[in-house]
Structure formats: structure tokens, C-alpha cells
Chains A and B, each alone.
Chain A
Amino acid sequence: MTLLRSFWLWLVAFAVVLAIAVAVNPSAPSNSTRIAHLESLVKCPACEDLSVAESNATSAIAVRHEITQDVGSGMSDNKILTTIEAQYGPQILLSPSTSGLGALLWVVPIAALVVLIAALLRLARRRRA
């Protein structure tokens, strides 16, 4: 068997495994996954950097109940987070909101990536010449 053929064989097997993984998949974003996700984004009010999902402080349990209620009453993720932020202050969110200065946290990594890739391409082109 040539190398190329063995590669295609492997690729086909890979595709099969991938297909099974994707097709036989029960995940629709259920309420409990949403709740768990939201809980990981909100800081426990009495702690340094634990999320309400991880802490058992009374204030953390209170916030967890609030999130569960809000999800049950149909509020969107964004609305829930902004409501909690309004109540406890911006430091309650473990990842700052992307509006305003918080955008810097995402702009800088992406910009750095672009700059680095550009520098590498220039380097590669110069060496080849």
C-alpha cells in the first residue's frame, strides 16, 4: 500500500469516527447546561476569584438561586448577566463585559496574533528570496 493510499484510508476512518460523534449527539443547550455556564461566569460576592459554581458561601448560593430563577423565567443569558452586574457592580463578572475598556482584553490578543502572523510571513518570504 502506498503512503498516499494509507493516508486516505486513515482519513476515511477519521471521518467515520467524526460522523458518529456528531450524529449520535444529544446536546441541545438544555437549561441545566445554561445555568452551569452562567454560574461559571459570575464571581461569588464574598470571594477573591471563585465563581458561584465553585463556592458554597451563602451569598454564592443566593446568586445561584437567582440565576436558576432567571433562566426558568426565560431571560436571555446577556440579560441575566447585565441584571446581576447592575445589582452587585461590574466586579461581579469574572470576565469583563466587552463594551468599553473590556474590549481591549480581546482586541489585544487578536491584534498580537495578526501582527505575529504578518511578521512570520514577511520572514518566510524574505528567506525564500
Chain B
Amino acid sequence: MTLTWLGRAFLYVAFAGAVGGMLTQVRAVFTKKKAPALLFALWSLLGVLGAVGVMQFALITHNFSLAYVSANNATFTPLLYSITGMWSALEGSLLLWSLLLALVTIGVLWYYRSDASDAVVQWASVVLFSVAAFFLGLMMFPADPFLHNPAHVLQGAGPNALLQDNPLVAVHPPLLYLGFVGFTVPFAFAIAMLITGRVHDRWPLEQRRWTVLSWGALSLGIILGAWWSYQVLGWGGFWGWDPVENAALLPWLTATAYIHSVIVQDRRGLFRVWNLSLAIATFSLTVLGTFFTRSGVLESVHSFSSSTLGPLLIGLFFFSVAVGVGLLAWRGDALRSPVGVDHPLSREGLFVANNVLFVGFAIVVLLGTVFPLLYEAVNGNQVTVGTPYFATIAAPLSVLLLLMMALAPLVSWRSADAGVLWNRLRVSAWAALLVAGILVALGVRHPAVLIACFLAALAAGAALRTLRGVIVSARRRGHLASAFRAPSTGGMIVHLGIVILAIGIVVSTSYTKRDEITLATGQSTVVDSQFVTFAGFHQVKDSLEEATQLKVVVDGHSLRPAVTTFNGRDTTVGTPAIDSNLLRDVYVTFDAVGGNGETSGAQVQSNLPAGSVVLGVTVEPLLSWLWIGGLVVGLGSGISFLRRRYVEDPQ
């Protein structure tokens, strides 16, 4: 019982800190005095840290007096998966969310401590504290992570099998949540700017920094999630257009639009109202995403169990959008910029097209995700909206986006001159044509692959050309290191990462070959020019799991696909094995065993002789390029976060 009360006490402390911070900041704004926001943020953070500490203690010591621990932990759960158990289910994941929000709040308030008496910072603090109070409130009532377990349980259920299969569970959720939580900051400042009416000074441009950081974390989080699914789920794919996956994609799309259109605001003072709307939309979509994940209204492999959080989260979504729209309606007209877009094919024009594509895609993804609910409400039947729909929309959009990545860095501001553009484009154009020509000569005819590789080469060319220009001018000024913090360096590196990603996605999805082969012990075969040998069985039994592993040799490398049964929940999952290199991934699954072979949960096919197995072998070219591209994107966004403010730029 003590742990329950201790944990809850810390939550109440944190809640009091958030509410106190909110109230004192409101008072400070109206009395025009300074209030110790940092102090309240620290108070709240300490409360959350205490609660996290209690939960981690309970998980690591396998203390089953907490219902959460008995449902997600067992005495034989290894340390890593005990720690990550904090976010493997609903209530605990809210603890992670609150922790990251408290850290982000204190970080931002400390960064702006010298502006603590500025009304914009004060209103932004009010919003940050309010959102923190909301999530803490959720944990205090409907989703209590410290619920006491009245039964004297000797053993817990252990984590969900798929959540203890791979160490990526330690990195994907925290990065993802950091991204989500980070978007609260631009939202808070957007609200603050609208309330105070101050959209003309430095505050809009400051938000770029926080958005880039959150965007980078979210991008890495999404890529790692895809990598994790790929390694664990067994079908060789990495993205299923699952409602929860889409929920993470939606704010990513609007945030990408925001990052680009804020560059235009930076340079020419345009799109002020639009950018504020995007900041509000991104945060609201984060809340909507949380709703989809936690309300249970949409079935998904990722969603947490159903709960009463649904209406509350939708309430927060509605409130955020309503406040945002209301403020925009009140202030919006006074904030319109006096100048406009001069030419549709100028850089501003292309950024407008960029925004149209990203926001349009977000609307379509939202529609596709919510459509099954709408259909069921109208017709009473169930319907599925899956990959074919989303892929059909995504394909032409991606082609257009690649094209714009190829043109926008080379196009001038305010004007469009075909001659100037062609001059800058020439080298990339010939390089891209060479790439396409080589592919055609090699016999590649898939239109998607040809178009994608051609445009990807063009886009890479534009990025490289810009980077070269930055390095040359930095060297000319005698300060090479300044190239690192130049305005476009990070962004162009991100573009290069996206190009690598795009090639990886298009090539792997166009040329994936799936096969089911039957091998007796010691037998070999060739699958899509990969030499595969089955070398025998290997049984594993320890405190954590019981598994039947197959010794498979692919191209000289040893793989162990298996069927694993985790103790505790007694669920059996297939564990795929992957041989990966720069050119291709070979994905092997243990599909069935012949005769009366060792089962340990594997499917038995009695028409096959004992000692033989059925292996699923999928060969996917260039799949590793996805993870490499993702890494480059993360790197680029980190560099972009550090970039000099435009005002300081000596050019």
C-alpha cells in the first residue's frame, strides 16, 4: 500500500506545482509583475521525478502491490525490460509523457529566463503548465498508474511478448513522445503571440528552433518504430498505415509544412497567420493522435487497452482547436502581411505548393484513418482502409515533393527566371539523366523506380549544390567551421536523408520477393540468388523464455529465426532473423515444422517429414537505406537546431 500512496503523493505534488505555476503566471500577466515560473516548473518536475522513481523502483524490484507492475512485469523480467515496462502500457506511458513535458517546460523556461517578465513568455508558460496539469490530472483520476493490487500475487504477467523481444523498446517511445511533447512549445507560444498580439518580432522565428528539435525527435521516433516493427512483426514490412502509425504521422506532416513556411516568414514576413495555424494544428493533432492510441475506438496492434480517457482527450483536442481558432479569428485580420507571393514559381511559391501537399496529405490520412468509424456509424458494417488507399494517394504526392526538393533550393526569392534556374539545374539534370540511363540499360522498367531514382538524383543534386555553395563561401571568409551553422546546412542534409529514404522505400517495395521454402536438415537452396542452408534445430530455455531456434545460414552468415514463448503471459511469437547489408536484406521466418518435430508453439505440418522445416524467405533490396536515410535525417535536424539565427547571418 505504501508504494501506492507514495506514488500518488508525488503526482499530487507535481499537479500542485503545475496548477500553481499556471495561476501565478496568469496573475503576473495581469498585474504586470514577474512571477517565479522556473520555481513552479522545478516543483512540478520534482514531483514527476518522484512518481517516476516510485514506479521504476516497483518495476525493478518486481513489487506486485501495484496493479500496473503485476500486469506488465514478472520476477524474471530482465532489468532493461523492467525499466521500459514503465511505458509499455497506458498508465505508465502517461508518466513518461508527463516526465518529458516537465523536462521540456523547465528547459524552455530556463532558456528564456532573461525574458521572464515578457508577456509572451508568461502566457506561453500558462499554456505549458495547463497542458502538464491536464496530463497529470489524467493520472490522478481515470488512469492511475499506482492502483493498488489487492490480491497477493506471487508472479506478474510480464510485459507483452512483442515488447520484450527487442531493445528498441527503450528508444522508440521516448523519442516519439519527446517529439509529441516538444510540439507543445510552438503551440504555447502561438497562443501567447495571439493573445498579446505580438507576431511581428522575434517570437515566431524562435519557434523554428523548438519545432525543428521536436520534428527531429519525432522523425527518429517514427523511423525507429518502423525499424522495430520490421525486426519483430514477421511480415518483412515496416509500415502498415495502422491508425496509431497514422496518428504519429499527422503531426509530423503539419510540422514539416510549418518548418518550411516559417522560412518564408523569416525572409519575407509572409504567412504569419498560416504559420500560427500550423503550430496550433500540429499540437492538436498530437492530442488527437494520443486519443486514437489510448481511447481504443480504433483497433490497432499498437493501441493501449480501452479506457475512459477517450472523451477527456477529445475534450482537450476540441479545446485546443477552439481556443486557437477563436484567437485567430479575433487577431488574424490585424496580422496579415502587406506583401504577397510575387510569382508562383519563385521560392515562396514553391513553399506554398510544399505546404499544400503536406497539409493536403495530412487531411487525406486523417480521413482514411477515421473513415472506418464513419462507415460503421452510417452503415453498421465494418470496413478497412489499408495500404492500397494510402499508397495510391502517397505515390503522386511523393513524386511532386521530390520534384520540389529538386527545384526549390535552386529557385530565387520573389522571381522566377527559367534561364537562371536551368543554369543552376544543369549539372544535377545531367547526373539524374545518367542515373536513369544506367538503370534503363540495366533492364529496370518499373516506372515508380525510374521516376523516383531520377527525381531523387535531382533532389540530391540540388542539396549538394547548396551545401557546396555554403562551404565555398565559408572558406572564402576564412572560417570553414561557420558552414556548419549556416542557415541551409541542416536542412540540405535532411533532404539528402529523405532522398536516401525515398530510394530505399521505392526500390524495396517494388522488388521484394517473398518465398516459402521447405528444407530438410542440412539441405540448401537458392532463393533470388541468395544461398540458404538449414543447419538444424537449437532449443533455448531460460527463466525468460522458451524458444525453438533454427540454425539457418544465408550467404555465409548465421541466422536464428525462432518461435519463442515468453514465460508469464505464455504467448508465443515468431522471432524473425535478418541478414542485412547495403544491397539487400534477407528476412527469414520460421513458418512451420514437419512431422512430429519439436513444436514449442510452431505450426506443425504433418505431411512433411520430421526434421524438415518451412522457412519464409523475403529478399528486399536496399532496405537498409531506410535506416541509413533516417539516421541522416536525424543528424541534419540536429545540425539545423544549432543553426545561427538569420539575424546574425553575416550575409
A55 vs chain B, min Cβ distance (A)? 6
Q: Contact check: which of B340, B364, B368, B591 meets A127 at CB < 8 Å?
A: B340
Q: Mark B370-391, 1 if CB is under 8 A from A, else 0.
A: 0100110011011111111100
Quick check: A113 and B360 within 8 Å, CB to CB? Answer: yes
Quick check: A112 and B383 within 8 Å, CB to CB? Answer: no
B318 at the interface (CB under 8 A from A): no
Cβ contacts under 8 Å, B241 to chain A: 49
Provided the pairs A101-B375, A116-B356 are in contact, do residues A40 and B387 lie with their beta carbons within 8 angstroms? yes
Cβ contacts under 8 Å, B378 to chain A: 101
Q: Mark A20-33, 1 if CB is under 8 A from B, else 0.
A: 11000111000000
B115 at the interface (CB under 8 A from A): no
The stretch of B429-437, B480-488, B623-631 in contact with A is: B429-437
Q: Mark B438-474, 1 if CB is under 8 A from A, else 0.
A: 0010000100001000000000000000000000000
A59 vs chain B, min Cβ distance (A)? 13
Q: Contact check: which of A20, A92, A101, A127 meets B384 at CB < 8 Å?
A: A92
A80 vs chain B, min Cβ distance (A)? 15
Quick check: A109 and B371 within 8 Å, CB to CB? Answer: no
A82 at the interface (CB under 8 A from B): no
Cβ contacts under 8 Å, A91 to chain B: 381-384
**Residues in A84-100 with C-beta less than 8 Å from chain B:** 89-96, 100
A30 vs chain B, min Cβ distance (A)? 13
B556 at the interface (CB under 8 A from A): no
Chain B residue with Cβ nearest A91: B382
A63 at the interface (CB under 8 A from B): no
Quick check: B440 and A17 within 8 Å, CB to CB? Answer: yes
Quick check: A7 and B422 within 8 Å, CB to CB? Answer: yes
Quick check: B387 and A51 within 8 Å, CB to CB? Answer: yes
Quick check: B363 and A40 within 8 Å, CB to CB? Answer: no
Cβ contacts under 8 Å, A112 to chain B: 360, 363-364
Quick check: B242 and A109 within 8 Å, CB to CB? Answer: no
Cβ contacts under 8 Å, A6 to chain B: 422, 426
Chain B residue with Cβ nearest A48: B301
B490 at the interface (CB under 8 A from A): no
How many angstroms from the CA of A56 to the CA of B423 in the assembled complex? Answer: 53
Cβ contacts under 8 Å, A21 to chain B: 436, 440, 445, 450
How many angstroms from the CA of A126 to the CA of B436 in the assembled complex? Answer: 41
**Residues in B371-430 with C-beta less than 8 Å from chain A:** 371, 374-375, 378-379, 381-389, 392-393, 419, 422-423, 426, 429-430
Q: Contact check: which of B371, B383, B437, B616 meets A90 at CB < 8 Å?
A: B383
A120 at the interface (CB under 8 A from B): yes
Chain B residue with Cβ nearest A97: B383
Quick check: A41 and B388 within 8 Å, CB to CB? Answer: yes
How many angstroms from the CA of A7 to the CA of B392 in the assembled complex? Answer: 33
Interface residues in A, total, Cβ within 8 A? 47
Quick check: B235 and A55 within 8 Å, CB to CB? Answer: yes
Cβ contacts under 8 Å, B426 to chain A: 6, 10
Chain A residue with Cβ nearest B591: A56
Quick check: B423 and A49 within 8 Å, CB to CB? Answer: no
Q: Contact check: which of B242, B342, B386, B419 meets A51 at CB < 8 Å?
A: B386
Cβ contacts under 8 Å, A41 to chain B: 388
How many angstroms from the CA of A27 to the CA of B368 in the assembled complex? Answer: 32
How many angstroms from the CA of A30 to the CA of B65 in the assembled complex? Answer: 63
How many angstroms from the CA of A21 to the CA of B430 in the assembled complex? Answer: 17
Quick check: A124 and B344 within 8 Å, CB to CB? Answer: yes
Cβ contacts under 8 Å, A66 to chain B: none
Cβ contacts under 8 Å, B616 to chain A: 56
**Residues in A40-79 with C-beta less than 8 Å from chain B:** 40-41, 43, 48-51, 53-56
B118 vs chain A, min Cβ distance (A)? 34
How many angstroms from the CA of A13 to the CA of B432 in the assembled complex? Answer: 12
Quick check: A116 and B383 within 8 Å, CB to CB? Answer: no
Q: Contact check: which of A49, A93, A102 meets B240 at CB < 8 Å?
A: A49
B232 vs chain A, min Cβ distance (A)? 14
B299 at the interface (CB under 8 A from A): yes
8 more CB-based (< 8 A) A-B contacts, given A91-B382, A91-B383, A100-B379? A3-B423, A43-B386, A54-B514, A55-B235, A95-B389, A96-B384, A112-B363, A123-B341
23 contacts between A and B (CB under 8 A): A3-B423, A17-B433, A17-B436, A21-B440, A25-B445, A40-B387, A49-B241, A50-B235, A50-B240, A54-B236, A54-B237, A54-B514, A89-B381, A90-B381, A94-B384, A94-B387, A96-B371, A104-B374, A105-B368, A108-B363, A109-B364, A109-B393, A112-B364
Binding site for A on B (CB under 8 A): 235-237, 240-242, 299-301, 340-342, 344, 352, 356, 360, 363-364, 367-368, 371, 374-375, 378-379, 381-389, 392-393, 419, 422-423, 426, 429-430, 433, 436-437, 440, 445, 450, 514, 516, 589, 591, 616
